[in-house]
Amino acid sequence: MGRSIIEKILSRKSGQEVQAGDIVVAKVDFAMGQDGTSPLAIQAFRAMGGEALFDPEKVALVIDHSAPSPSEGVSNLHKLMREFARETGCHLYDVGDGVCHQLMLESGAVGPGSLVVGADSHTCTYGALNAFATGVGSTDLAAALISGRMWFKVPPTLKFVCHGILPPGVYSKDLILFLIGQVTADGATYRSVEFGGEAIRALSMEARFTVSNMAVEMGAKAGLMEADERTAEWMAQYSRHTFEPVVPDPDAVYEQVLEFDVSRLEPQIARPHRVDNVAPLGEVAGLPVDEAVLGTCTNGRLEDLRIAAALVRGYRVSPNVRFIVAPASRSVYLQALRDGSLETLVQAGAAVVTPGCGPCVGTHNGVPADGERVISSANRNFKGRMGNSKAEIYLASPAAVAAAALTGEITDPREFLK
């Protein structure tokens, strides 16, 4: 019987032929935690009697969610992470290095066929590199740090086949919002997802990361893609290691195959307070916004900053809007400095904050006021997500965020592309 990508990776990593429904203990290639989850993991590591890491080269702690620290409580937890990293010899990415997921993608340690656990739900982002990467909690992370292993129930797979090429002004963010709207927030719970078809193959690696990043917003355990020449180029740029891509069998068994023609897709938007509350952006065009956020692990990469810069060039940000830009990593920041994208954004009126999660998780960098409306390139719009339960968050593409920053209202970005 044919196997899906996740069945093949878990077979390889557990040393036995497995299929959906089996329980396996598999070898972990890399384990990662961030500043919201690592402190509890360190506590659990000690409670489990942990003394050494399974392999310090294969472990990274990242200070990104609340960085630089806004309070003494956060500072003390950051200090705990730094001390643990010093003591165990693992990688530590500190304030200003960037969002954990972007750093993992740039690290070269994760590639096709890898198995990665991260104590952050958006670890599924690396599925675009053909890696089985999934979010776990702090105690699971601690178990992986000690043993280099993790138990999994092999999930069934739901396959999305996207036909056609996205039209101009419509991006991979619109595509994944559309798919989430179709299957809803628990449409892929306990399942692995594979994204394929002409529309996916035509995307850059950066645009593909946006798609896999949001697989968890439909409940999925993984958001996998096949490796191709673009994957190979990314790995050649960032990694010295060799990887073995995993191809699903032609007769792989899928729980469901969903096909969409996306060649006429329009810009999409997720309305408050649910990621699956998706509509064509035109339906809410004209709603005033107070804050526009460009960044995060979903859409803070170089391509995203370039799209926004091209759109705002020659214009000024609306006086009614705070336009906050958080590059996803130090490397993205430097490249956007060198190519002039950041200069363009700052000239237009953007406020650039430290590479990292920015205001996405509500700890710093732009908590909205009561009754305010935010448009963001992030992946979650839950009530209170950005630190104020009396504010509204709309999710859209970097182009739509930039367009709203200029006009002060939700605006179809294609109006700036004419």
Nearer to another protein, 373 or 414 (CB): 373
Task: Kindly tell me which residue out of 5, 39, 128, 200 binds another protein, with binding defined by CB under 8 A.
Answer: 39
Q: How far is the CB of 35 from another protein (least distance, A)?
A: 7
CA–centroid distance for 160 within its chain: 18
The H or E element containing residue 60 is: strand 59-62
Give pairs for 68-73: CB < 8 Å, separation 24+.
68/95, 68/96, 68/354, 69/95, 70/363, 70/364
Q: Count the neighbouring beta carbons within 10 Å of the beta carbon of residue 68.
A: 16
Residue 40, interface with another protein (CB under 8 A)?
yes
Task: Kindly tell me which residue out of 97, 140, 409, 412 binds another protein, with binding defined by CB under 8 A.
Answer: 140
DSSP assignment of 187-211: TTTT-EEEEESHHHHTS-HHHHHHH
Residue 95, interface with another protein (CB under 8 A)?
no
Residue 153, interface with another protein (CB under 8 A)?
yes
Place of tokens 């990104």: 64
Q: Where are the beta strands (DSSP E) in 262-412?
A: 268-270, 278-280, 291-295, 322-326, 351-352, 373-376, 392-395
- Cβ-based neighbours of 300, under 8 Å, separated by 6 or more: 99, 102, 294, 326, 327, 328, 329, 332, 355, 358, 377
Residues in 53-92 at the binding interface with another protein, rule: CB under 8 A? 65-66, 71, 73-74, 77
| Window of 103-111, 199-207, 264-272, 379-387 that interacts with another protein by CB under 8 A | 379-387
In whole angstroms, what is the distance from residue 394 CA to residue 386 CA?
Answer: 11
Residue 98, interface with another protein (CB under 8 A)?
no
- Residue 258: both structure tokens together: 């969903």
Q: How far is the CB of 328 from another protein (least distance, A)?
A: 18
Residues in 308-337 at the binding interface with another protein, rule: CB under 8 A? none
| Window of 114-122, 302-310, 318-326, 398-406 that interacts with another protein by CB under 8 A | 114-122
Residue 138, interface with another protein (CB under 8 A)?
yes
Task: Kindly tell me which residue out of 17, 23, 233, 369 binds another protein, with binding defined by CB under 8 A.
Answer: 23
Residues near another protein, by CB under 8 A: 23, 25, 35-37, 39-40, 43-44, 47-49, 65-66, 71, 73-74, 77, 118-121, 123, 135-140, 142-143, 146-147, 149, 151, 153, 185-186, 189-190, 219, 221, 274, 361-363, 367, 380, 382-385, 387, 389
